[in-house]
Amino acid sequence: MRFNILGIPVRVSPMFAVTALILWQIGRESSLESLAIWVLVMFSGVLFHEFGHAFAGRAYGLKPNVELHGMGGVTWWSNQVGLSPWRSIVVSVCGPLVGIVLGGLAYAYVGSMAEAPPELTRYALSSFIWVNLGWGLFNLVPVLPLDGGNILRSVCIMVSPHRGRDAADLLSTVVGVGLIGLSLMADQPMLAVFFGYFIWVTWKERKRRGERLAEAHLEPRFRKAVVALNARRFDEAEQMASSLVKEAESVAMKAAASGLMAWARFGSGDLEGAQTALDERPAGAPLDGGLQGALLLRQGEPEMALRHLEGAMQRSEDPQVPELLCVALIQVGRGAEVMALLGSGAQGRMHKGASARLAAEARRSGDDTLADRILNG
């Protein structure tokens, strides 16, 4: 589900509803009324939290997008604007701050009540306090990738610009290990699992960062290959990417070069070769959702392509991805979402002439009104 609030695109994953249902059952409630209350409270609480980040980022020139998913929510940016550590701290703080303020006000309201409210009202208020105040405070725990961990990282970078990230990883891990112990002592195994997962994510990202540094000498050639691809010099881009695949040692660089080679083949019309390059990516490398979506579009499967392209919008800076996503949305008749995506700043990431190509796609799909809206902005 996609919609737009105050110029900010919002996507709700089906897994968000699954998580909401699981948490409601853990609370041992059974009535449909309580389920409706819980879903509304959780939806609004996570949305308020993410909009705290989104509006803070927008104040600093970032173009926010919000997604609610199975692990809660995430705010990501359609453009890249370098933020100082102080500004990064502000963006990180504003999410939990919104929840703490709202939950705190609800807590104060409950405390001022002269008599106990009806059962459903009590449940709604307690759920609102738990989701907003509880989740806000939990997010300030200094463990990556929580907001508190991001704040810790920004502080470490302020203290030591060169070693700050490594220091934050270490401190986050120490705190996480301590909290695992406390969770187990408090007979909260699920909480211990969460902190264990956070530690794993942190060290996985640290490993990737180390691999990128070790292969920094390949980066200039990789960037030249990207330039060749964007300039539609597909044969040149494929040759450079093929050379990088042979020289790279890390999974990350091999996967990036393989993906570049696949995109070059796709651009030259070699769909079979593109699929082969995609299938032969290194073991453990994630699937390039943008390229898989592009191939599915060419095969006349826009619904299946959407699943890959929507995920790729968050993970990839490839300028072809937002245009391909708009094409898929046009082909399945979701024109309103196309305009919301273009209005979010995604158009700035696309290749020159994207508006004309998208308008032509809309006309081929029989939607002249959408074509005119795309061209007129």
Q: Are residues 52 and 133 in the same domain?
A: yes
Nearest Cα to Cα of residue 70 among 11, 26, 30: 11
pLDDT band at 45 (very low <50, low <70, confident <90, very high): very high
**Same domain flag for 134 and 25:** yes
In which band, very low, low, confident or very high, does the pLDDT at 138 lie, cut at 50, 70 and 90? very high
Instruction: With beta carbons less than 8 A apart as the criterion, state whether 265 and 274 touch.
Output: yes
Report the pLDDT averaged over residues 359-365: 90
Residues 362 and 374 in one domain: yes
Asked if 243 contacts 218 with a C-beta cutoff of 8 angstroms, the reply is no
Residue 5 region by backbone torsions, left for phi larger than 0, else alpha for psi between -120 and 50, else beta: beta
Task: Decide: helix, strand or coil at residue 12.
Answer: strand
| Coil vs helix vs strand at 74 | strand
Query: Has residue 148 got a pLDDT over 90?
Result: yes
- The stretch 325-348 carries a mean pLDDT of 84
Rounded Cα distance, 239 and 351, in Å: 22
* Domain membership of residue 176 as a residue range: 141-214
Binning pLDDT at 50, 70 and 90, where does residue 345 land? low
Query: The sheet that has 8-12: what strands, in order across it?
Result: 2-5, 8-12, 64-69, 72-77
User: Looking at residues 7-17, what average pLDDT do you find?
Assistant: 84
185 and 312 belong to one structural domain: no
**pLDDT of residue 344 exceeding 90:** no
Beta-carbon contacts of 152 under 8 Å, excluding residues fewer than 6 positions away, are: 142, 144, 168, 171, 172
- In the numeric block, the tokens 């934050």 are attached to 168
Q: Where are the alpha helices (H) located in 215-301, listed in sequence order? A: 219-230, 234-247, 251-267, 271-279, 289-298
For residues 132 and 10, membership in a common domain is answered with yes
**pLDDT above 70 coverage of the chain, percent:** 96
Number of domains in the chain: 4
- Whether the Cβ atoms of residue 238 and residue 264 lie closer than 8 Å to each other: yes
| Higher pLDDT pick, 289 / 153 | 153
CATH number for the domain harbouring residue 329: 1.25.40
Average pLDDT, the chain: 86
Query: Which residues 6+ apart lie within 8 Å of 8 measured at CB?
Result: 51, 54, 58, 64, 65, 66, 344
